[in-house]
């Protein structure tokens, strides 16, 4: 696979262990800021990923609730099934699933702040015994083969350099019939825009520590290499533009409060989000939600699309 950006070329000079360490330090850094900042910017759920807007008048909370319901319906969890949420953030997906299903959920994150917030929110929901969150790098997960019914990456796989290793892990730990869901950013296959620009470097490295965008077809190919079948892909690029617009409005509204908690962070957020917004608006970056299954799917895909009522 070719490197698309400076960040990727630098990552390729590191050993796998060095890259894991780099991600552990640099990616976690962004998310270790005061969780209150992210509540102000991202909303109540602190969902740091695309929302799903039914119309231009939807507010951020409605769009995020719709997105979470959509993930839940796509995963189609039965009582006592197990979910692995990789890069669980402050728990938006994990807690939604804990509240609306009887599944057991294992979340991992690189940020101790995120682990603490998510674990506390799970206890507040009365779901503490079904939810386990730990600080761990995905490549260092040691789970038995065929021990998980669903794996979720919502706005997280973009931080993981060794995608082949990640997909091998998913292929190994999923039980037959197990589902994989990814919601994240991709590059178009045909290069649009300058991927070596200062703007790209700012967003991928300065703001977010490490990001690796690949074309959708490369990700799907790795999913297939791991033995899964792709069952559904949807383009949410325009929804990401709307999501980021609302995040930037929240940064504006709470600029003073954010700067009081972390001087300069409001500026960093607004700058990288505006760069990102421009890329998605111009479709030099794309947003997709991917669903894949290991073995025979148990739902009837003829009944698609899933509506995802919140």
Partner 1 sequence: MSGIVHEEQNVNVPARVRAIVAEAVRRPVDEVPLEAKLESGLGVDSMVMIEIGVSIEEQFDIALPPELADEVRVETVGDLVGVVETQLTSRKRRN
- The residues of the shown chain that bind partner 1, judged by CB under 8 A, are 197-199, 202, 245, 248-249, 252, 255, 267, 270-271, 274-275, 277-278, 281
- Which of 119, 271 has the CB closer to partner 1? 271
For residues 123 and 267, which CB has a smaller minimum distance to partner 1 in the complex? 267
CA–CA dist 81, 93 (Å, integer): 16
Element holding 116 (H helix, E strand): helix 112-124
- Would you say 221 or 284 has its CB closer to partner 1? 284
Least separation, in Å, of the C-beta of 201 and partner 1?
9
| Residue closer to partner 1 (CB basis): 197 or 307 | 197
CA gap 280, 218 in Å, rounded: 19
CA–CA gap between residue 84 and residue 56 (Å, rounded):
33
- Shortest reach from residue 251's CB to partner 1, in Å: 9
Residues 6+ apart with CB under 8 A from 134: 106, 107, 108, 109, 115
Measured distance CA(27)–CA(114) in Å, rounded = 12
Q: How many CB atoms lie within 10 A of CB 132?
A: 15
> Of 152, 231, 151, 221, which Cα lies nearest the Cα of 186?
221
Among candidates 184, 172, 174, 181, which has minimal Cα distance to 152?
181
In whole angstroms, the minimum distance from the beta carbon of 238 to partner 1 comes to: 14
In the complex, minimum distance from the CB of residue 37 to partner 1, in angstroms, rounded to a whole number: 16
Residue 190: CB minimum distance to partner 1, A: 20
């Amino acid at each position: 696979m070719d490197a698309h950006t400076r960040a990727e070329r630098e990552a390729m000079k590191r050993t796998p262990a060095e890259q894991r360490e780099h991600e552990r330090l640099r990616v976690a850094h962004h998310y270790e800021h005061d969780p209150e900042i992210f509540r102000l910017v991202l909303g109540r759920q602190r969902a740091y990923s695309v929302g799903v807007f039914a119309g231009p008048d939807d507010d951020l909370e409605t769009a995020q609730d719709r997105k979470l319901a959509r993930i839940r319906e796509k995963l189609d969890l039965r009582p006592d099934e197990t979910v692995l949420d990789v890069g669980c953030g402050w728990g938006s997906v994990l807690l939604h699933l804990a509240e609306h299903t009887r599944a057991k959920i294992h979340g991992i994150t690189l940020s101790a702040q995120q682990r603490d917030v998510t674990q506390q929110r799970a206890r507040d929901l009365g779901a503490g015994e079904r939810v386990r969150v730990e600080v761990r790098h995905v490549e260092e997960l040691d789970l038995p083969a065929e021990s998980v019914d669903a794996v979720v990456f919502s706005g997280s796989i973009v931080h993981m350099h060794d995608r082949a290793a990640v997909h091998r892990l998913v292929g190994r730990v999923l039980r037959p019939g197990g589902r994989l869901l990814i919601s994240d950013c991709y590059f178009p296959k045909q290069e649009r825009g300058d991927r070596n620009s200062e703007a790209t470097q700012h967003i991928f490295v300065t703001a977010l520590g490490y990001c690796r965008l690949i074309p959708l077809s490369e990700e799907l190919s790795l999913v297939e290499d791991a033995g899964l079948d792709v069952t559904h892909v949807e383009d949410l690029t325009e929804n990401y533009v709307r999501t980021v617009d609302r995040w930037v409005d929240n940064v504006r509204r709470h600029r003073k409060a954010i700067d009081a908690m972390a001087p300069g962070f409001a500026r960093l957020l607004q700058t990288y989000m505006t760069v990102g917004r421009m890329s998605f608006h111009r479709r030099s970056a794309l947003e997709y939600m991917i669903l894949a299954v290991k073995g025979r799917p148990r739902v009837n895909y003829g009944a698609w699309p899933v509506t995802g009522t919140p």
